Structure 1
Amino acid sequence: MSSSIPYPATLGAATASKAQPRAIARWLELVAAFVIVIVLVGGITRLTESGLSITEWDVATGILPPLSDAAWQSEFAKYQATPEYRLEASIGGMTLAEFKFIYFWEWFHRLLARMVGLVYALPLVFFWVKGAIPTGYKGRFVGLLALGGLQGLFGWLMVQSGLVGDMTDVSHFRLSLHLLTALLLLACLVWTARDMRQLVKQPAARPARITGASILVAVVLFIQLLLGAWVAGLNAGHAAYDWPLMNGQLIPDVDFSYGFFWTLSHDPFLLHFLHRWWAWIAVAALVWQARRTGGADRTASIALNAVFGIMIVLGIATVLSGVSLWIAAAHQLVGALLVAATAWAMHAEGAARQAARAAQSA
């Protein structure tokens, strides 16, 4: 999350007289908010089984939904040719009105993706032309743009995986890649925005660097997010509706006959079990992060504590509610907020450590 470009002390003072770190920070925070909304809508898209309702990707013409009955019938016919419809949706029958409902969520998700691309790219060009980007950061901003484009590509590859053969859902591996790339982008946006805020307070500030302890916390959180993505992709949230037991057992029955690694990445009961109990390891790691951050930025520490507490409560509520749409969607929303709060806390710790070292060497 730190810039790989050398940042000599002689550059100082945000380094160019035209640099506008405050405006850039606000812009990045706006983009981060868009990403959080996209993660929420993506969760709703998944929970409503809407992701395969649009079978094509048209960058320009796909902006508008069908505008006539004939156009709707054409889109419905394309969906009816998918394995999901033939093997699942057609069993109970689906009306055009029901198709329009799932189509809306996928269309809205893609529309937001287009919007966030514009909200990032157009101001980037403006700040670049105006010379408002602080010295040493242009490479990072280009990297963020590339990461956003890559995340969109992963989204389409995810959809394609559910349109072939007898697949009635998208690949949970591609779903996790799509979601985790979005969360990485969110973390990088928050981190860079905090770097800009540092420049506002201290024009000679260098980009913050993540500490070794924070890297360990990030790995623990990554595992939990990966497990959550696989649980979502395999509908493993429906494996049990009781808590803390699973179908009356502390440890569910797991069939390892397909091999350990296949079971670890495919068995819904095992993944549900791992996701609900690895969460407590993640909580311990985040408590540790919050305590280390407290001395540097108390607000960031409080935010992190609050968000992971809400995350746990919503996770349990999702199970007990039988995976209620809006509770599960709120769980994913708070997951995105957790990533943002963690990045904020890690940045605060890294910046404080860096400032302390600079003061010692002065």
Structure 2
Amino acid sequence: MTAFAGTPLNGALARADRDRALVRYWLYFVVVVLFALVLVGGATRLTESGLSITEWKPIHGIIPPLSEADWLEEFEKYRQIPQYEQLNEGMSLAEFKVIFWWEWAHRLLARGVGFVFALPLAYFWLGGRLERRLKPKLLAILALGALQGAIGWWMVASGLVERTSVSQYRLATHLTLACLIFAATIVVARGLAPHSQGPAALATRRWAGILLALVLVQIYLGGLVAGLDAGLAYNTWPLMDGGLVPGGLLVQSPLIANFFENPKTVQFVHRIGAYVVFLTALWHMIAAMQANAGTTHARRAVILFLLVTGQAAIGVATLVLQVPLGWALLHQAAALVVLGFAAAHWRGTKGAYPRQTEVEIRN
């Protein structure tokens, strides 16, 4: 920079830094909206509201019922599905409105995050403010967002014909993809942030990546638990159904079905996943402190372990209290915090994206 002080290139580099900061702030705002979206989605699931809107209207669905006749029409559509017939028969219109607003808010946020991402992306791209290396990354996130919308409806459709709730397979897929988009956005934003230190030791970078992947897997397992309402049974800890390893884990055929369709097995595997994440975070913290003593990499590893420990405690409390709405949402929010910090930590161990070169600036 100093070699070009007072030159046009120096001014171009300064503008590139400002553009990088603006893109980073925009992505952090997207992260906030995604966080809210996932939490509202969790509340929608926990209040059994996800099937209240029985049609996929991606454009004009943004407009809610505006008259009594509109409300009665929506309510009549809901009364045709198995959830109403088997679980909610006799529900009043006022009760229907409660679950409708949860699902409508979730869909509104989903549409909103699409605009919050796509419009600024077009502005930065067409204005020449995006670094070349960012374009494929941001396009990939945009594509995942479009796919997520389709998967959301695919999930809802599974509960409209024969089931009284959505498929746990589709729910877990929907949740995990949302969290993948959330983590990917944080990774790109963190790569654009100033880094006070260079990359961490190779082993630290690898374990940070492994821990991030394990957190995503654990969230997928949590989605299966939610889809099967598996958290509403076996509400003791550390024992489960009277033992550290309960019986009846492999009673279904084929064997693999137990890991996706047997509520006891799904909850047990989710517990084991939590122990694996906890021990991996502990190992990573100790190893990072030894290999990167006194650095921000080591300090972040400590914070990540503390976040994982806090999340484990919240998970146990949620289970023992038999999954009250507030605790369940706190558990989901804490999972997002752990995931987001794990993503930022992994990107931080790799160092910032390189600054644009003189050739890139001139091109």
Contact preservation (8 Å) 1:300, 1:348 = no
Equivalent pairs: percent with the same residue? 38
Residue 160 of structure 1 is matched in structure 2 by 157
Structure 2: gaps (5+ residues) = 1-8, 355-363
Q: 1:302/1:36 Cα in 2 relative to 1: closer, same or farther (>3 Å)?
A: farther
Q: 1:122/1:27 Cα in 2 relative to 1: closer, same or farther (>3 Å)?
A: same
Residue 102 of structure 1 is matched in structure 2 by 99
Contact preservation (8 Å) 1:14, 1:135 = no
| Structure 1, 334-343 or 302-311: larger mean CA deviation | 302-311
Structure 1: gaps (5+ residues) = 1-11, 355-362
Residue 304 of structure 1 and its aligned partner are, at CA, apart by 1.8
Residue 113 of structure 1 is matched in structure 2 by 110
Q: 1:13/1:251 Cα in 2 relative to 1: closer, same or farther (>3 Å)?
A: farther
Q: Deviations over 1:162-182 (max 9, x none)?
A: 112x21111111111111111
Residue 262 of structure 2 is matched in structure 1 by 267
Residue 251 of structure 1 and its aligned partner are, at CA, apart by 2.6
Aligned to 2:351, the other structure's residue is in SS state helix
Contact preservation (8 Å) 2:212, 2:339 = no
Aligned to 1:240, the other structure's residue is in SS state coil
Q: Distance in 1 between matches of 2:112 and 2:306?
A: 30
Aligned to 1:89, the other structure's residue is in SS state coil
Matched, 1:66 2:85: no
| Structure 1, 52-61 or 228-237: larger mean CA deviation | 52-61
Residue 345 of structure 1 is matched in structure 2 by 345
Residue 296 of structure 1 and its aligned partner are, at CA, apart by 3.8
Aligned to 2:235, the other structure's residue is in SS state coil
Residue 18 of structure 1 and its aligned partner are, at CA, apart by 4.5
CA RMSD of aligned residues (A): 2.6
Matched, 1:243 2:256: no
Residue 357 of structure 2 is matched in structure 1 by none
Residue 317 of structure 1 and its aligned partner are, at CA, apart by 1.1
Q: Which amino acid aligns with 1:125?
A: A
Report matched runs for 1:107-146 at 5 Å. Answer: 107-146=104-143
Q: 1:16/1:264 Cα in 2 relative to 1: closer, same or farther (>3 Å)?
A: same
Residue 87 of structure 1 and its aligned partner are, at CA, apart by 1.9
Q: 1:212/1:176 Cα in 2 relative to 1: closer, same or farther (>3 Å)?
A: same
Q: Distance in 2 between matches of 1:56 and 1:26?
A: 35
Match of 1:193 among 165, 179, 189: 189
Contact preservation (8 Å) 1:18, 1:131 = no
Q: Distance in 2 between matches of 1:57 and 1:213?
A: 41
Q: Distance in 1 between matches of 2:244 and 2:285?
A: 30
Residue 271 of structure 2 is matched in structure 1 by 276
Residue 88 of structure 1 and its aligned partner are, at CA, apart by 1.7
Q: Distance in 1 between matches of 2:10 and 2:102?
A: 46
What TM-score does the superposition give when structure 1 sets the normalisation length?
0.85
Residue 323 of structure 2 is matched in structure 1 by 323
Q: Distance in 2 between matches of 1:102 and 1:339?
A: 28
Residue 313 of structure 2 is matched in structure 1 by 313
Contact preservation (8 Å) 2:252, 2:262 = no
Q: Distance in 1 between matches of 2:183 and 2:103?
A: 24
Q: 1:267/1:15 Cα in 2 relative to 1: closer, same or farther (>3 Å)?
A: farther
Q: Deviations over 1:252-279 (max 9, x none)?
A: 3315242210112110011111212320
| Structure 1, 304-313 or 244-253: larger mean CA deviation | 244-253
Contact preservation (8 Å) 1:186, 1:340 = yes
Q: 1:301/1:52 Cα in 2 relative to 1: closer, same or farther (>3 Å)?
A: same
Q: Deviations over 1:233-257 (max 9, x none)?
A: 1110012122222243333331524
Q: Distance in 2 between matches of 1:312 and 1:319?
A: 11
Q: Which amino acid aligns with 1:259?
A: P
